[in-house]
Amino acid sequence: MDYAIDLIRDIEKKWHAKWTEMQLYKVVEDTSRPKYYVLDMFPYPSGSGLHVGHPLGYVASDIFSRYKRLRGFNVLHPMGFDAFGLPAEQYAIETGQHPAETTKKNIAYFREQLMRMGFSYDWTREVKTSDPKFYKWTQWIFMQLFKCWYNPYTNKAEYLNSLIAILEQEGSTKLFILDKCATSISADDWKQLSEKEQQQFLMQFRLAYLAYADVWWCEVLGTVLANDEVKDGVSERGGHPVEKIKMRQWFLRITNYAERLLEGLERVDFSDSMKEMQRNWIGKSEGALVNFSLANGDGSIQIFTTRPDTIFGASFMVLAPEHHLVEKITTKDQKIDVELYVSYVKSRSERDRISEVKKVSGQFTGAFAINPFSGKQIPIYIAEYVLAGYGTGAIMAVPSNDDRDRAFAEKYDIEIIEVVDQGAYPNAEREDKVGKIINSDFLNGLEVKNAIQKIITEIENKSIGKRKINFRLRDAGYSRQRYWGEPFPVYYKDEIPYLLDEKDLPVILPEVETYKPSGAGKSPLSSLTEWVNLPDGTTRETDTMPGYAGSSWYFYRYMDVDNTEAFASTEKIKYWKDVDMYIGGTEHAVGHLLYSRMWNKFLYDLNLVEVDEPYKKLVNQGMIQGFSKIVYRVSGTNLFVTKGEKHKYEVTELRVDIKLVDGDELDIEKFKMWRNDFADAEFILEDGKFICGSELEKMSKSKHNVVNPDEVIDTYGADCFRIYEMFLGPIDAGKPWDTKGITGVYGFLRKLWRLFVDENGDLKITNDKATAVELKILHKTLKKASEDIERLSFNTAVSAFMICVNELGAAMCYKQEILEKFLITVAPFAPFITDELWQKMGNSGSIHTAVWPEYNPEYLVENSFNYPVSINGKARANIELPIDMPIDEIERQVMALESVLKWTEGKTPKKVIIVKGKIVNVVV
């Protein structure tokens, strides 16, 4: 019987049923075995199903889980769904279908696809973030964040009573000095405050707090937009104008964990690039806060600088256009221009603002400040390159040592004072912190490093500022004016937020009539007056939580998925502890991974979890890209033009579903049926064909380039698909999807099958003793496969198996002694075939609980080795030497060889270079 798709389907079906019946992958806590937790980043269940990019990481984690099981570990390998999110909501707005319905349908499809691929998940532990049983605990953790502050003395999160005790005893003076509090009040002051004032005061400490922040607002759509939904300053849908408006929202005080998030990176096994990305995101910089007095004597402006040493060169100041002092300091003459500039900046995204390097822009406010050291009057500008959210939202501009300040000064004709002589560092950039200070009074002659220390001391002596460590990291926005997310367990009384009682959890997401935002950009929930207004006259929070809320802690829920008393029990957390191997995409480097690390540290501070870093090892899978197909529409018409003729027209590009395209040729009939508005489309062809353009990019539904794995599995089976995805290349490399090489993998599986099954479908296994050659082939493969799987190099492991099958095939070997061990090692890659055969071969039990065979080095011993020797990198010859020859003997051999070949023309070698016992070169 040949290994063909009918047979494969039978085997897959049979073993699926058997796995479910046996509950083979159900895992229970077992203290007698070491635990191992292999976690996948759970998917967002989109409408188009899994695409071929998802399984890349899932196949890898499954292979690794199966491998660890064979190695005797008790492996937790769960799967779930990140089910709240914007796409389901948008779909609901368009079609009126409840997001819960579409999400449920999508999850069912995803689960079915994941099962088809033969993953060894314990499905009894599945989580869904949109399930009230799950989000009850998301809400619960939020409540703890609200109830806690970050105690700078103990350096951890604590409940507010420890803060209140401090305030009652000594007021906030010390906390103010520590920069943890905006105002300094005495204990008596605190006691005098009304309930409302006290609550407002406490808000500046809570780890979940309310504040005002910018959001993108689109008047025409009547909704708040995500950055992703804003393209080129207009809404992506409809192209309507957008602007930033202030809105009161929830935030998580992640900045309080900045130092610990940075420090924790030292203790985890992430790639260097991943750590680097997180470090940059946190963006720690040391510098100083300095106050610049206004020239009119009316107050001062505080700036943050990392280069206080260049203060003598500060010849102007720049405020962020949103800075709260802009309105106050602007003079009458400049008022109109300043307002115009501010409204221009409102339409600009942060990225656009800081990306602009060719042309800086800004506006003079008419006001002046005094440089506290040079005493000069300097003009105050506003400019988009200064962001309100970074530092203090204001800078002292030093054209001599900052490129943008330089460009700005040149454009607006402002004085440039050179304050650092970098002559001694010919390769130094303007912004590098090296050189000797000049033109700076008492700093003259100092190296930059020393000057920074001296000037900060001087700034502190003059009481005009202080040393400051600044982070680029900002507190995380935690409100969304959306429907499809977790409701907050919060109500308002007299504008002040309070928590609902824990016994009222979960706060169930109520049904709504429409998923469109209700007036003024509020969440759809705000239209539910009955739900919003509570009987006692208080009102509910109507925003919902963001997508990352559930994903910040979901990995704990897998440990104890049905617990109704806690997010997970203490015993189970003690056993599973942390994630040993976490696999997912780099796109989560700074979002999810930073948030969940913070949540984990918070839970750790409250003694609710075992470790303060949740992920021991992180592996990033690359992104599989797809070819998008593009048709060209003559602008403003329903006429489409083939690629070869498009240069004759003014065209707009349109991505079409890749299913409508064969090779590069568009199927016109299918295209007409694809969307109603194309039904009467007309076409300009070349050679009777309509040829599409093509572009390689990230697979996404909106680009219509998603390749679904179902088709591949239908044709070749799940094992072939799994192995092919691994064979494609290293898991951390991104690559375009194509199935060109899949026949090679299919051929490998077929050859593997034929090693022990004949044409009639009968086993042809014997108990004959294996030969030395066969044992060597086997043990070479065992060694290579073990090493490769340990280092997650699955592509080379697959190659090793292919070589083994080729070599065994040539030896016509189908001896049980060999085959058994070989099959166990292939099992993580090809679970269906091997389990089937395992039973047929007369082994009781499942191959998935077998024991991984160790290789025996004795079979691999070579008794001699060949190695090339070269003389001064020129002549070459092979020298054959026994494997265990001592090095001095090797040197003698080489000299003998040389005298024979006369390479050295009678000279003795000066140096014999030996690497790992092998001669690699001889120098004469």
Residues in 838-877 that interact with RNA by CB under 7 A: 866-868, 870, 872-873
Sign (positive/negative) of CA torsion 775, 781, 782, 784? positive
Inter-CA distances, 28 with 67, 76, 117, 554, 563, Å: 18, 9, 23, 18, 15
The C-alpha atoms of residue 619 and residue 40 are separated, in whole angstroms, by 10
Min separation Cβ 694 and RNA, Å = 12
Taking CB under 7 A as the criterion, the residue among 336, 357, 896, 901 binding RNA is 357
Taking CB under 7 A as the criterion, the residue among 117, 148, 247, 319 binding RNA is 247
Segment near RNA (CB under 7 A), from 112-120, 284-292, 668-676, 912-920? 912-920
Residue number with CB closer to RNA (48 or 799)? 799
Taking CB under 7 A as the criterion, the residue among 215, 723, 755, 824 binding RNA is 215
Taking CB under 7 A as the criterion, the residue among 227, 285, 331, 533 binding RNA is 227
Taking CB under 7 A as the criterion, the residue among 52, 225, 326, 464 binding RNA is 225
x/- site string to RNA, residues 659 to 698, per CB under 7 A? -------------------------------------xxx
Residue number with CB closer to RNA (389 or 445)? 389
Taking CB under 7 A as the criterion, the residue among 499, 589, 598, 666 binding RNA is 589
Min separation Cβ 4 and RNA, Å = 9
CA 306 to chain centre: 29
Phi first, then psi, for residue 729 (nearest 5°) are 155, -175
Please count the residues of this chain forming the interface with RNA, following the rule CB under 7 A: 102
The C-alpha atoms of residue 777 and residue 799 are separated, in whole angstroms, by 13
- Say which amino acid occupies 320: A
Residue number with CB closer to RNA (55 or 85)? 85
Min separation Cβ 247 and RNA, Å = 6
Q: Count other C-beta atoms under 10 Å from residue 413's C-beta.
A: 7
x/- site string to RNA, residues 475 to 494, per CB under 7 A? -xx-xxxx------------
**3-state class of 164 per DSSP?**
helix
User: DSSP label at 757?
Assistant: B
Told to check if 918 binds RNA by CB under 7 A, we report yes
CA 348 to chain centre: 26
Residue number with CB closer to RNA (22 or 920)? 920
Told to check if 229 binds RNA by CB under 7 A, we report yes
The C-alpha atoms of residue 808 and residue 43 are separated, in whole angstroms, by 40
Min separation Cβ 401 and RNA, Å = 16
Residues 813, 755: contact at Cβ < 8 Å? yes
x/- site string to RNA, residues 31 to 60, per CB under 7 A? ------------xx----------------
Inter-CA distances, 656 with 178, 220, 626, 698, 702, Å: 58, 28, 13, 15, 10
Min separation Cβ 205 and RNA, Å = 20
Residues 712, 741: contact at Cβ < 8 Å? no
Residue with tokens 């691929």: 117
The C-alpha atoms of residue 8 and residue 716 are separated, in whole angstroms, by 8
607 token code pair? 């003694």
Residue number with CB closer to RNA (171 or 622)? 622
The C-alpha atoms of residue 825 and residue 851 are separated, in whole angstroms, by 9
Residues 590, 277: contact at Cβ < 8 Å? yes
- What's the full length of the chain, in residues? 924
Residue number with CB closer to RNA (173 or 739)? 739
Largest CA distance in the chain: 106
Q: Count other C-beta atoms under 10 Å from residue 110's C-beta.
A: 20
Taking CB under 7 A as the criterion, the residue among 295, 354, 608, 684 binding RNA is 354
CA dihedral 643, 644, 647, 650 (to 10 degrees): -40
Residue number with CB closer to RNA (187 or 914)? 914
Among 424, 335, 451, 429, smallest CA distance to 382 is for: 335
Phi first, then psi, for residue 48 (nearest 5°) are -90, 5
* Interface with RNA in residues 714-743 (CB under 7 A): 715-716, 727-730, 733-735, 738, 740-741, 743
Told to check if 401 binds RNA by CB under 7 A, we report no
x/- site string to RNA, residues 302 to 341, per CB under 7 A? ----------------------------------------
Taking CB under 7 A as the criterion, the residue among 548, 632, 640, 903 binding RNA is 548
Residue number with CB closer to RNA (263 or 276)? 276
Residue number with CB closer to RNA (112 or 432)? 432
Segment near RNA (CB under 7 A), from 158-166, 327-335, 354-362, 413-421? 354-362
User: DSSP label at 377?
Assistant: E
Told to check if 596 binds RNA by CB under 7 A, we report no
- Could you give the angle at which helices 54-70 and 772-790 cross, rounded to 10 degrees? 120
Residue number with CB closer to RNA (39 or 798)? 798
Segment near RNA (CB under 7 A), from 233-241, 629-637, 780-788, 887-895? 780-788
332 token code pair? 């009458």
Taking CB under 7 A as the criterion, the residue among 35, 253, 588, 643 binding RNA is 588
Told to check if 917 binds RNA by CB under 7 A, we report no
CA 566 to chain centre: 28
The C-alpha atoms of residue 202 and residue 184 are separated, in whole angstroms, by 13
Among 697, 543, 633, smallest CA distance to 215 is for: 543
Min separation Cβ 370 and RNA, Å = 31
Residue number with CB closer to RNA (87 or 308)? 87
* Interface with RNA in residues 872-901 (CB under 7 A): 872-873
Told to check if 222 binds RNA by CB under 7 A, we report no
**3-state class of 633 per DSSP?**
strand
Among 269, 214, 220, smallest CA distance to 244 is for: 214
Among 507, 526, 504, 530, smallest CA distance to 517 is for: 526
* Interface with RNA in residues 85-104 (CB under 7 A): 85-87
Task: Give exposure, 164-178, as e/b (b: 16+ Cβ within 10 Å).
Answer: eebbeeebbeebeee
The C-alpha atoms of residue 191 and residue 197 are separated, in whole angstroms, by 10
x/- site string to RNA, residues 782 to 821, per CB under 7 A? --x--xx--x-x-xx-xx--xx--x--xx-----------
Told to check if 923 binds RNA by CB under 7 A, we report yes
CA 541 to chain centre: 30
Min separation Cβ 820 and RNA, Å = 22
Residue number with CB closer to RNA (584 or 614)? 584
Residues 617, 269: contact at Cβ < 8 Å? yes
Residue number with CB closer to RNA (82 or 605)? 82
* Interface with RNA in residues 135-194 (CB under 7 A): none
* Interface with RNA in residues 613-632 (CB under 7 A): 623, 625
Taking CB under 7 A as the criterion, the residue among 82, 384, 820, 836 binding RNA is 82
Residues 544, 224: contact at Cβ < 8 Å? no
Residue number with CB closer to RNA (330 or 523)? 523
Residue number with CB closer to RNA (696 or 887)? 696
Residue number with CB closer to RNA (572 or 629)? 629
Segment near RNA (CB under 7 A), from 11-19, 276-284, 610-618, 823-831? 276-284
Told to check if 450 binds RNA by CB under 7 A, we report no
Min separation Cβ 595 and RNA, Å = 10
Min separation Cβ 913 and RNA, Å = 4
620 token code pair? 């990033």
The C-alpha atoms of residue 498 and residue 492 are separated, in whole angstroms, by 6
